Structure 1
Amino acid sequence: MAIDAATVRKVARLARIAEPEEKLEALANELNGIMTWIEQLAEVDTDGVEPMTSAVHMPAPMREDVVTEGGDPAKVLSNAPKTINGFFVVPKVVE
């Protein structure tokens, strides 16, 4: 898959990244190099290889599945920059 300057321009616009016109061709070349490397990785035979979550096999630590009171709300909220009526106050993220 070849990536050209027009594709880079479109992706940059969609991602709202301002890139100068003179850098688009260089970015396209870099992305093409990355895509070539990914295509090489796709050629590796992975049949019979188990998926790994870590380079070292370690079982996931287990804990008791018990219901608790949830701790002390005052302690939990003590580090919050702002609270109202026992709840965290966070900035609005939906416009």
Structure 2
Amino acid sequence: MAIDAATVRKVAKLARIAEPEEKLEGLARELSGILNWIEQLNEVDTDGVEPMASAVHMPAPMREDVVTEGGDPEVVLSNAPKRAGNFFVVPKVVE
């Protein structure tokens, strides 16, 4: 899969990453190489291979499911760059 500079520019804008125009071609080549490598994984025969979440079989630690009030909103929101009442304010990222 080939990625061009226009696609890199669009993705960078959506991710709110400022990239200089002269770096876009290089990033496009790098991302295309990464995607080509990932496409090679489709050629691996995985028939009969059990799915796994870890290389070591270990059960997930369980905790008691308890409903709480979420703690003190002032503490939770103390590092928020922007807030409205007891809520985080985040920029719109979907166009």
Q: State whether TM-score is above 0.5.
A: yes
Alignment RMSD (CA, Å): 3.0
Note if 1:59 corresponds to 2:62: no
Q: Map 1:8-87 onto structure 2 (within 5 A).
A: 8-62=8-62, 80=75
Higher relative contact order (CA 8 A, sep 6+): 2
Q: Identity percentage over the alignment?
A: 74
Give TM-score, length-normalised by structure 2. Answer: 0.66
Paired positions, count: 82
Give TM-score, length-normalised by structure 1. Answer: 0.66
Cα–Cα, structure 1 residues 3 and 81, in superposed 2: closer, same or farther, change >3 Å?
A: closer
Distance 2:12 2:33 in 1: 18
Which structure has the larger Rg over C-alpha atoms?
A: 1
Distance 2:52 2:64 in 1: 25
